[in-house]
Amino acid sequence: MLDRITSVTLSSVTLPLGAGISDAKVLTGRQRPMTEVAFLFAEITTEAGHEGVGFSYSKRAGGPAQFAHAREVAPDLIGEDPSDIGRLWTKLVWAGASVGRSGAATQALAAFDVALWDLKAKRAGLPLAKLLGAHRDSVRCYNTSGGFLHESVEQVRDNATRTLESGVGGIKIKVGQPDHAEDLRRVRAVREHIGDAVPLMVDANQQWDRPTAMRVGRALEEFGLVWIEEPLDAYDAEGHAALAGALDTAIASGEMLTSVAEHAELIRHGAVDVLQPDAPRIGGITQFLKLAALAEHRHLQLAPHFAMEIHVHLAAAYPLEPWVEHFDWLYPLFPERLEIRDGRMHLSDRPGLGVTLSEQAREWTVARETVGTSR
């Protein structure tokens, strides 16, 4: 049955974090500690009464820019058939073509795109993963939010204990400090604490140069890491390729890239063993699916970054066994919870993404605008 979009409601929501969050970019002086995350939510309704919700986000600067761009292009969705998701993505990207096909512009479009996929799955009465064609009902998961550098190594170890007891399967900690010996000390302490059997990853957040990455990467080999993440600048495909060729430990990257084309460069150079795309950052689910096809063709592992509420579905639909990143930061935004046990994140039977906006999210809304007319 043909349906039409009647309204789009945009909300800019500021999520406060409990403490200033620091990774290596803070310790090297490139950024300030992070105290909040800006979310862009899009709620789309149709003539037939169907609804979809999607979101994008920005850490530190960029949230107002995403909201402003989304507000400008949202009218182009009114009257359209919500099933034509690919065509609508193209229509919206051309509506803002002068500001490009990556960055804040396409991150704004991601909120619409995710909402349209949520709506489509709800119309089918299926979880999004099932609509896409799931390969599994649960996905391996690892935690990042307990491994930041503003906390002492003793606190990171305690966090790891609680995380593993909660059912999460792996632990990732931050490295990339100016003192490389301190990085190695923290990794050794955590590895000894959790044991050799627990999957352990590290993330340097782009803070090493090529010689340092090679030297520290070799020193990290003894810890049996699942991967070393972002050892170099995100756009240094050749440098990542050299590391991937020289080290036994897998190299992971991709979260800071904001288009399929940028990820394709990593793939073309053989720069990563583990690709880490972020659906909200690259323009949504439509773009993520294009990238996933490229990654599968090259037999790459997949570990989507952040936004587990979206990525658990996309990872479940990836043919090769993936990972999903567990972050508890977003818990206040949604009343629903993903089931996590035995080291895996399990799909719910709720249709679509399986999440709704909480009252707390409504209270944290700093800007809101509706285009079109509600039923």
What pLDDT, on the 0 to 100 scale, is given for residue 27? 84
- What is the percentage of the chain residues whose pLDDT exceeds 90? 87
What pLDDT, on the 0 to 100 scale, is given for residue 34? 86
130 in active site = no
Classify each residue of 165-204 as buried b or exposed e, where b means 16 or more C-beta atoms within 10 Å of its C-beta: eebbbbbbbbbbbeeeeebbebbeebbebbeeebbbbbbb
* Structural domains counted in the chain: 2
Look up the domain containing 81 and give its range.
Answer: 5-125+358-372
Residues 158-174 have a mean pLDDT of: 97
123, 117 contact by CB (below 8 A): no
What pLDDT, on the 0 to 100 scale, is given for residue 19? 79
Residues 90-105 have a mean pLDDT of: 85
* Residues annotated within a binding site for Mg(2+): 203, 229, 255
Assign residue 55 the CATH number of its domain: 3.30.390.10
CB neighbours of residue 52 within 10 Å: 25
- What is the percentage of the chain residues whose pLDDT exceeds 70? 99
Encoding tokens for residue 298?
A: 């090259």
Q: Taking the model in full, what pTM does it have?
A: 0.95
Residue 291 lies in a domain: yes
Q: Are residues 366 and 285 in the same domain?
A: no
* Residues annotated within a binding site for substrate: 23-25, 59-60, 172, 205, 325
174 in active site = yes
Q: Are residues 142 and 268 in the same domain?
A: yes
Catalytic-role residue among 122, 305, 311, 346? 305
Q: Are residues 328 and 362 in the same domain?
A: no
Q: Are residues 151 and 293 in the same domain?
A: yes
Q: Are residues 179 and 151 in the same domain?
A: yes
Assign residue 228 the CATH number of its domain: 3.20.20.120
What pLDDT, on the 0 to 100 scale, is given for residue 98? 76
Residue 353 lies in a domain: no
Q: Is the pLDDT of residue 36 over 70?
A: yes
What pLDDT, on the 0 to 100 scale, is given for residue 187? 98
What pLDDT, on the 0 to 100 scale, is given for residue 33? 85
Tens digit of pLDDT for each residue in 292-344?
999 999 999 999 999 999 999 999 999 999 999 998 889 999 999 999 999 99
What pLDDT, on the 0 to 100 scale, is given for residue 31? 79
Q: Is the pLDDT of residue 23 over 90?
A: no
> Quick one: pLDDT band at residue 374, thresholds 50, 70, 90?
low
Catalytic-role residue among 69, 120, 122, 174? 174
Residue bearing tokens 């952040």? 306
Residue 11 lies in a domain: yes
Nearest to 253 by CA among 236, 234, 268: 234
Q: Are residues 215 and 329 in the same domain?
A: yes
Q: Is the pLDDT of residue 375 over 70?
A: no
Residue bearing tokens 């609509």? 131
Strands 339-341 and 301-302, by their bridges, are unpaired
Query: What is the overall mean pLDDT for the chain?
Result: 95
Q: Is the pLDDT of residue 161 over 90?
A: yes
- Give the span between the Cα atoms of 65 and 61, in whole angstroms: 9
Q: Are residues 79 and 167 in the same domain?
A: no
* Residues annotated within a binding site: 23-25, 59-60, 172, 203, 205, 229, 255, 325
Nearest to 51 by CA among 7, 109, 107, 110: 7
Residue 351 lies in a domain: no
Q: Are residues 291 and 147 in the same domain?
A: yes
Q: Which residue has the higher pLDDT, 20 or 234?
A: 234
What pLDDT, on the 0 to 100 scale, is given for residue 241? 98
Q: Are residues 327 and 252 in the same domain?
A: yes
Residue 352 lies in a domain: no
Phi, psi of 320 (to 5 degrees): -90, 145
Residues 252-259 have a mean pLDDT of: 96
Tens digit of pLDDT for each residue in 135-149?
999 999 999 988 899
- Give the span between the Cα atoms of 225 and 222, in whole angstroms: 8
Q: Are residues 116 and 203 in the same domain?
A: no
Q: Are residues 148 and 222 in the same domain?
A: yes
Look up residue 373 and give its amino acid.
T
Q: Are residues 99 and 175 in the same domain?
A: no
> Quick one: pLDDT band at residue 278, thresholds 50, 70, 90?
very high
Residues 348-359 have a mean pLDDT of: 96
Residues comprising the chain, all counted: 375
Q: Where are the alpha helices (DSSP H) in the chain?
A: 24-27, 63-73, 85-95, 104-124, 128-132, 153-165, 180-194, 210-220, 237-246, 260-268, 279-282, 285-297, 308-316, 359-363
What pLDDT, on the 0 to 100 scale, is given for residue 294? 96
